[in-house]
Chains A and B, each alone.
Chain A
Amino acid sequence: MGLVIQGGIVFDPSSNWDGEVRDLFIAHGRVVDHLTEVDEAIDARGLAVTPAALELRSPVAGYGQNFLRLWGGLPSPRELGESYALLGYTHIHEPDLTLPTANYVHRELAAIPLMDTSASLTLNLRDFDIFLKNKENLSEVAAAWAYLLEHCGGLTLRVAEPFVRYRQEFYQHRTISLEAVLDILDNILHILDSKISLEATPELLTAGLPSSGRFHLACLGPALVNPEALEKAHRLLAAGVSADMGLLPPAPRSQGSLVPLTIDQDRFAPCDLHGSPDPEAPRRALELALHCRQANLAFSAADLRQTPVSSFPQLFSWLCDHHSRRRFWGEDLAPCSYSLHDWLRSTRSLPAQHLGLPDRGHLRPGARADVSIYDLPTLSWWPQSFNRCRMLLKAGERVVDNYEIVNHTVSKATFYRRTGALPNHIIDGLYAKSSFRPGNLRVHPNPEIHWQKAP
């Protein structure tokens, strides 16, 4: 079965195609070099053809997120899947998955139609504290993390609290400072030959990051609590650190958000899903994103309560259109805006890179045929027309056609990283402490989920 997208204006920053008119051939769900025979042709003359977008941070399935719906803070899975598809997305990534909640997260992700999914295994360093203190144990810790990543069906590693602290007096001796943890993490990541996401905090911005390039700063926005933090973030981005924006609007706090919504996940600080960002953080986040548009900075929204998927077009317009900024913020905030090239890079190429999915985010032969096609009346008009996707192909199958979902049951997969690591004594200890027996924390037997190994 061959398909050709004919005569489209192709934009693909990672292939340096910046508006070239070319045909795109698709066979067996992948982009191919050329086809002599095609069964179907899509006429894309005058339309913009781009790789489909990947959402780097979509906290829709974490333990407790469902409760946000009590206050109308999260749409239903079906609405979520459809909203993403209509914007040109085919993949969403949940940042918060842990060993006990892995089954929960994957079940929630499986309920979201149309979208491929993946999740970050959030490591609780307190579970490993005594091993982290001794350098000789680090290879065992690395092996344990590799095992957990596959076992929990995670795609990438993440740490929300890059330190070890306890509220309890008699555990104080186990404390490990942030600086020490960064050093230890760097060693472990070197053994694993892997990257890790760290949740940005003012403290982390001040401490800076090791220069190994193995760290990704997630969700900068809420961490920009003061001008100093902004300055530090600026410096880190200028030094080439990989990061994502964590944009958020300066929305007035709604009635529902006044009540606390805390979920204790055995971390140092319980997580308040309603959050309480600094009132100036939204402006700083946007300023940072605008100034660092050439940097290794991917698009992300801070949290789905304040920036639901439906508000993405607004966030995009702030990045890409200075009229829109002036209307909303009353000023330009930065002299330059995101070009189409910059925007595609931050929503396609960089997220695919961070997630380690080499066949996404571009349209070179070999890529999976996830293609989003938009109207393009004139090139300068693109920020408006890219708000809705005219056609979306997922692995060569049409999901959106003529701005409408046409296939509600397109196959979807959950991507995980296969590491082949075996459990060791650290894992045994972790299981022994759980209230579950090890076998029942498995995620893989669940027949609802279509698992796919990340390439």
Chain B
Amino acid sequence: MPAVEEIQEFLPNLDCGRCGLTCAEFAGFLLTRELAPEDCPVLHEPDYAGFIEALHELLGQPTVQAAAGMQIDLEKCIGCGICVAMCEFHLGNCADARLGKGPRPQDKVIFHIVNGGAVVVHQERCTRLLQAAEKCSKCAEYCPTKAIVLF
């Protein structure tokens, strides 16, 4: 199960915005299978030959998404968004999440709910990653379906 950084190694990391996203966001969507490596226009350029294949290899056939520090099992996730509301990073950075509303596309979040399941978009903001794994476990602690597993 690759982490976003691992995937980013095989992305241009130019944040050129031609796909409408930053490279980190694009990596997040690769993990959730909502985008495929081919969706990055830059990777089709000759300079990046072999990257698309490498990404396919890296992504493999997982049913579970992964990010450093937490796994979300989409088979179990019901998209209730408790994790989004309880996340400590969101508490300070996303007023909507504090009040129980869904974050807006431009909000600074670690993960949000897309198509009925939780999706990690900026795991690099997670306290578990920035500080230490034992610092926070709110998202998994309150998950009613135990869809989030921390490691």
Which A residues form the contact surface with B (CB < 8 A)?
A: 432-433, 435, 437
B99 at interface, CB cutoff 8 A: yes
B100 at interface, CB cutoff 8 A: yes
Closest 3 CB pairs of A and B: A432-B95, A435-B101, A435-B99
Which residues of B sit under 8 angstroms from A432, Cβ to Cβ?
95-96, 99
CA distance A433 to B101 in the complex (A): 10
Please tell me if the beta carbons of B99 and A437 are within 8 angstroms of each other in the complex: no
Give 5 new A-B contacts, CB below 8 A, not counting A432-B95, A435-B100, A435-B101.
Answer: A432-B96, A432-B99, A433-B99, A435-B99, A437-B101
Residues from 86 to 107 in B contacting A, C-beta threshold 8 Å: 95-96, 99-101
CA distance A433 to B96 in the complex (A): 9
CA distance A435 to B96 in the complex (A): 9
Which B residues form the contact surface with A (CB < 8 A)?
A: 95-96, 99-101
Secondary structure at chain B's binding surface: helix, strand, loop or mixed? loop
Which residues of B sit under 8 angstroms from A433, Cβ to Cβ?
99
Which residues of A sit under 8 angstroms from B101, Cβ to Cβ?
435, 437
Cβ-closest chain A residue relative to B102: A437
CB distance from B59 to the nearest CB of A (A): 34
- Tally inter-chain residue pairs, CB-CB below 8 A: 8
CB distance from A440 to the nearest CB of B (A): 11
> Most A CB atoms within 10 A — which of B95, B96, B100, B101?
B101
Which residues of B sit under 8 angstroms from A435, Cβ to Cβ?
99-101
Which residues of A sit under 8 angstroms from B99, Cβ to Cβ?
432-433, 435
CA distance A432 to B96 in the complex (A): 7
Which residues of B sit under 8 angstroms from A437, Cβ to Cβ?
101
- Between-chain CB contacts (< 8 Å), 8 pairs: A432-B95, A432-B96, A432-B99, A433-B99, A435-B99, A435-B100, A435-B101, A437-B101
Cβ-closest chain A residue relative to B95: A432
CA distance A437 to B99 in the complex (A): 12
CA distance A433 to B99 in the complex (A): 8
Which residues of A sit under 8 angstroms from B96, Cβ to Cβ?
432
CA distance A77 to B100 in the complex (A): 36
CB distance from A266 to the nearest CB of B (A): 15
Cβ-closest chain B residue relative to A433: B99
CB distance from A192 to the nearest CB of B (A): 30
CB distance from A206 to the nearest CB of B (A): 39
CA distance A220 to B131 in the complex (A): 64
CB distance from B97 to the nearest CB of A (A): 12
CA distance A432 to B104 in the complex (A): 12
CA distance A321 to B134 in the complex (A): 83
CB distance from A159 to the nearest CB of B (A): 26
CA distance A280 to B102 in the complex (A): 53
CA distance A433 to B95 in the complex (A): 9
CB distance from B112 to the nearest CB of A (A): 15
Cβ-closest chain A residue relative to B98: A432
CB distance from A94 to the nearest CB of B (A): 29
CB distance from B90 to the nearest CB of A (A): 15
CA distance A435 to B100 in the complex (A): 8
Which residues of A sit under 8 angstroms from B100, Cβ to Cβ?
435
CA distance A433 to B98 in the complex (A): 10
CB distance from A106 to the nearest CB of B (A): 24
CA distance A96 to B134 in the complex (A): 52
CA distance A437 to B100 in the complex (A): 12
CA distance A433 to B100 in the complex (A): 11
Cβ-closest chain B residue relative to A436: B101
CB distance from B103 to the nearest CB of A (A): 12
CA distance A150 to B101 in the complex (A): 26
CB distance from B84 to the nearest CB of A (A): 15
CB distance from A304 to the nearest CB of B (A): 36
CB distance from A263 to the nearest CB of B (A): 23
CA distance A188 to B141 in the complex (A): 49
CB distance from A369 to the nearest CB of B (A): 49
Cβ-closest chain A residue relative to B100: A435
CB distance from A175 to the nearest CB of B (A): 25
CB distance from B134 to the nearest CB of A (A): 33
CB distance from B45 to the nearest CB of A (A): 40
CB distance from A408 to the nearest CB of B (A): 43
CB distance from A339 to the nearest CB of B (A): 57
CB distance from A294 to the nearest CB of B (A): 53
CA distance A18 to B101 in the complex (A): 61
CA distance A432 to B97 in the complex (A): 11
CA distance A432 to B99 in the complex (A): 9
CA distance A437 to B101 in the complex (A): 9
CA distance A432 to B98 in the complex (A): 11
CA distance A432 to B101 in the complex (A): 10
CB distance from B109 to the nearest CB of A (A): 16
CA distance A6 to B95 in the complex (A): 66
CA distance A244 to B101 in the complex (A): 42
CA distance A437 to B102 in the complex (A): 10
CB distance from A379 to the nearest CB of B (A): 64
CB distance from A434 to the nearest CB of B (A): 9
